Structure 1
Amino acid sequence: MSSSAEPQPKLFTPLSAGDIDLRNRVVMAPLTRNRATPGSDAPNALNVAYYRQRASAGLIISEGTQISQQGQGYIWTPGIHSPAQIEGWKAVTEAVHAEGGKIVAQIWHVGRVSHVSLQPGNKAPVAPSAILAPTKTYLESGFVPVSQPRALAAEELSGIVADYTRAAENAREAGFDGIELHGANGYLIDQFLKDGTNRRTDAYGGSIENRLRFPLEVVDAVTKAIGKGRVGIRVSPVSPANGVSDTDPQAVFDRLAAELGARGLAFLHVVEGATGGPRDIAPFDYLALRRAFGGVYIANNGFDRETAIEAVESGRVDAVAFGKAFIANPDLVERLKRNAPLNTLQTETLYGGDARGYTDYPFLAEKAA
Structure 2
Amino acid sequence: MIAMKSFNYSIQTHFYVGPGQFDNLGDIVRDLGKKAFVVTGKNTLSRGGLQNRLSAMLKNSGVEYVLYTNAMPNPTTIIVDEGSKEFLDSECDFIIAIGGGSSIDTAKGIAVAAYHRRPIWDFMDPNKEKEKIIGAYPIIAVPTTSGTGSEADGAAVITNPANSLKPSFKSYYTFPKYSIIDPELVKSLPPSMTASTGVDAFCQSLECYIGPAATPVSDMFAYESLRLCIDNLQKAYEDGNDIEARSKMAWAAALSGMAMATSATSLVHALEHPLSGKYNITHGDGLAALLPSFIEFGYKYNPKRYAEITKLFISNVDDIDELALASMLKDEVLRFLEALGKRLTLKELGVPKNDIEILAQDAQKTLVGALKNFQKEVTTQDIVNIYLKSYE
**Fold in common (TM above 0.5):** no
The structure with the greater share of residues assigned to helix is 2
TM-score, length basis structure 1: 0.31
TM-score w.r.t. the length of structure 2 is 0.29
